[in-house]
Structure 1
Amino acid sequence: MKIIFKTALFFLLCSCAMATHKTEKIHGVSFVASRDTINSSHIKPLLNIHANYAALMPFGFIRELNHPEIMFNTDRQWFGETKVGVKQYVESLKQHHIKIMIKPQIWVSRGNFTGGIKMASEADWKVLENSYTNFIVLYAQLAQELHAEIFCIGTELEGFIDNRPEYWKQLIVEIKKVYKGKLTYAANWNEYDRTPFWEQLDYIGIDAYFPVSDEKTPTVEACRNGWLHYKPHIKAFSETYKKPILFTEYGYRSVDFAGKEPWKSERNMNAVNLEAQTNAMQVLFEEFWNEDWFAGGFLWKWFHNHKEAGGANDSRFTPQNKPVEALVKAHYAN
């Protein structure tokens, strides 16, 4: 009888230990910076969809793709894009038990794609490297001070990385001197498999704008078939590096052809299609969220003024006040 009791107790303790160590999925949103401070009224809608993480995005600005100086943390920026703004946002979100990824980003004037940043001379590359180090280390120090759970070292900077890989490897060493949490990099969907420093990071970060359907209103079946071109490779990549996949950004616009080129943000794409957004998002959740090698992701994007954001006539990325918001809430509740 004692043997049976001890055996049962052993398996009970083992099962409890396994449950305790089960990794929590990241149910995140990309929380857009605003001109103002935030408070509980701005955070309650996040709690309503069961979000447990928010990515905060302080910005640095470059005049041209070949300009080496980054302007950041200035009084000309919106409050939420600066160091003091990030601090206020983090402290407010943490009061509601929402965890944090700090994700500094570069904005090139006129919205030019950051992956095209490329300097004309060695001297300019050095200036850019020094400027980027100052930018990123400032926010790495802040992430440590505020106990942010994840720090993202860059977003969609493939040209910079392709041309200066050794700089990036050394930058990670410098970041680790001041920040002790988890690290990732937000690689574009067609960049991640040649990013050279995943061994130094904790998550393989992907901005998951994979093209999955050419249909005007992509069906669930079409989107699922579309993921067959990418999902096996993503899984194999995770297994090769023994690192979980994190969708540092994911989402679709509520627009015709939402799954064709999901990265596009042109404002002349304005034919609202709420079904397209919902179908594409449903398949993404179903294909990835239950995979052990998938850590979760950060929905692109979420605005602090929830009542005024999104809506039935909005063709942009946000799910706010659209049918897809209920879908996000259901999946984040699991």
Structure 2
Amino acid sequence: MAVVAVVAGVAMAAVVGPVAGGKPATGPTPANSRAATAVRQGVREFQKGIAYTGYWHDAYVGPGARRALRRLRDTGATWVQVLVTGYVRTLRSARIVRRADATPTDASLRDVIDYAHRLGLKVMLKPHVDIWGSECWRGRIGPGFSEAEWRAWFASYRSFIVHYARLAEQTGTELFCVGCELDGTVHREAEWRAVVARVRREYSRRITYADDQIVEDPYAVRWWDAVDLIGMDAYPELTRRLHPTTVQLRRAWRRWARRLEALSRRWGKPVILTEIGCRSVRGAATAPWDYLRRGPVDLRVQQRWYAAAFKALVRRPWLVGMYWWQWEPATPAGGPRDTGYIPYRKPAERVLRAWYARRL
């Protein structure tokens, strides 16, 4: 999903919504699904995940945040994705900063990861980069850069991401995401390979990258061989109907599932859906990435979208996990009057619980 964080003043109004080609330049190109099955068996476990999204410096601190994390665990989730965001001032800015008022502190990240582990959850740490005070999407970073600007941006990004790789290693975090939806940069293959190599010097466990180009160009990333899992933020437009049925949505998912399976086969690596979700607003299934859509609450469309995704995607040999967007540390959040992504206290949560109670 193309995630855009909007910040005004000290508090962050962080709303996130998705956006949704090329063969690999190097690396393995397996010819059949046996490779995908083998790599899933190597992973051993399906990641029943939920994205836990804090957008201010102390978002993960306090009894409310802990209560929210316990509720997340109670859905049957076995993995939690912890979000941390750095910022640039404009699309052309090369300097990525950790803002004292908005970026979760290292201490709070250590605390939430420790608490998640005590709850029996495994953790993915997923750093984002957003544009401060703007609705511009991070995928637009990069186009128009000069070579000097590219060097400066990657130097800053390398410093930013290595900082969190070290924290992930120190906290025993089980999975690390080296980037998210930086579509305008992924063609810089040499630089990204260098970033991943540098991260591996600090972090000893599995690594992924969160692409989101399932629609436009699923083969845009040509360096999947450098990471362990192919990550995809999945918010495809499945229908033009305002009130689609679960059957209609499930059928529409098959097209996108074939794309993901082909990607897994090409690289011989399993796929995780680093984000997947749909809002509870009328017409959400026509553009599940649209976090700004206005309209009346529609709990049923979200419920059906969840059900269709589970029915169409789980137990496929190439898929090893999914992270539903989103769950917030603030309470109360979600509920039957909410039009956002959060499934808490909505019919979609019942679907989530039912599937996460199964062996996937």
Using structure 2 for the length normalisation, give the TM-score.
Answer: 0.82
Q: After TM superposition, give the deviation of residue 132 of structure 1 in Å.
A: 0.4
Residues 1:277 and 2:302 aligned together: yes
Q: After TM superposition, give the deviation of residue 21 of structure 1 in Å.
A: 7.7
2:160 corresponds to which residue? 135
Q: Contact between 1:38 and 1:304, CA under 8 Å: does it hold in 2?
A: no
For residues 110-129 of structure 1, the aligned pairs below 5 Å read 110-118=134-142, 119-129=144-154
Read off the aligned partner of 2:182 and give its amino acid letter: L
Q: After TM superposition, give the deviation of residue 76 of structure 1 in Å.
A: 2.1
Q: After TM superposition, give the deviation of residue 229 of structure 1 in Å.
A: 2.2
2:176 corresponds to which residue? 151
Read off the aligned partner of 1:270 and give its amino acid letter: G
> Which of 17, 22, 44 lines up with 2:70 in the alignment?
44
1:82 corresponds to which residue? 105
- After the TM superposition, which segments of 4 or more aligned residues of structure 1 sit over 6 Å from their partners? none
1:233 corresponds to which residue? 259
Q: Contact between 1:55 and 1:103, CA under 8 Å: does it hold in 2?
A: yes
Residues 1:30 and 2:51 aligned together: yes
Q: Contact between 1:217 and 1:273, CA under 8 Å: does it hold in 2?
A: no
1:219 corresponds to which residue? 245
> Which of 292, 298, 317 lines up with 1:292 in the alignment?
317
Residues 1:167 and 2:188 aligned together: no
**Higher share in helix:** 1
CA distance in 2, matches of 1:138, 1:132: 10
Q: Per-residue displacement from partner, 1:278-331 (whole Å, max 9, x unpaired)?
A: 11110101111111211111110001245x111111111110111111110111
Read off the aligned partner of 1:213 and give its amino acid letter: T
CA distance in 1, matches of 2:355, 2:219: 28
Read off the aligned partner of 1:311 and give its amino acid letter: G
Q: After TM superposition, give the deviation of residue 270 of structure 1 in Å.
A: 3.2
Q: Contact between 1:52 and 1:97, CA under 8 Å: does it hold in 2?
A: yes
Q: After TM superposition, give the deviation of residue 127 of structure 1 in Å.
A: 1.3
1:12 corresponds to which residue? none
Q: Contact between 2:275 and 2:323, CA under 8 Å: does it hold in 1?
A: yes
Q: After TM superposition, give the deviation of residue 75 of structure 1 in Å.
A: 2.2
2:279 corresponds to which residue? 253
SS in 2 for 1:159: coil
CA distance in 2, matches of 1:104, 1:304: 17
Higher Cα radius of gyration: 1
CA distance in 1, matches of 2:323, 2:106: 21
Q: After TM superposition, give the deviation of residue 172 of structure 1 in Å.
A: 0.7
SS in 2 for 1:265: coil
Q: After TM superposition, give the deviation of residue 215 of structure 1 in Å.
A: 0.8
Read off the aligned partner of 2:280 and give its amino acid letter: S
1:103 corresponds to which residue? 126
Q: Contact between 1:38 and 1:89, CA under 8 Å: does it hold in 2?
A: no
Residues 1:202 and 2:215 aligned together: no
Read off the aligned partner of 1:261 and give its amino acid letter: A
Read off the aligned partner of 1:172 and give its amino acid letter: V
SS in 1 for 2:219: helix
Q: Return closer, same or farther for 1:21/1:175 CA change in 2, 3 Å cut-off.
A: closer
Q: Contact between 2:218 and 2:263, CA under 8 Å: does it hold in 1?
A: no
2:207 corresponds to which residue? 183
For residues 308-319 of structure 1, the aligned pairs below 5 Å read 308-319=332-343
CA distance in 2, matches of 1:21, 1:106: 31
SS in 2 for 1:111: coil
SS in 1 for 2:93: coil
User: How many corresponding residue pairs?
Assistant: 309
Q: Return closer, same or farther for 1:67/1:199 CA change in 2, 3 Å cut-off.
A: same
2:357 corresponds to which residue? 333
Q: Return closer, same or farther for 1:205/1:155 CA change in 2, 3 Å cut-off.
A: same
Please provide the CA RMSD for this pair.
1.7
2:24 corresponds to which residue? none
Q: Contact between 1:218 and 1:258, CA under 8 Å: does it hold in 2?
A: no
Gaps of 5+ in 2: 1-40
2:328 corresponds to which residue? 303
Q: After TM superposition, give the deviation of residue 193 of structure 1 in Å.
A: 2.0
CA distance in 1, matches of 2:233, 2:270: 14
2:9 corresponds to which residue? none
Using structure 1 for the length normalisation, give the TM-score.
Answer: 0.88
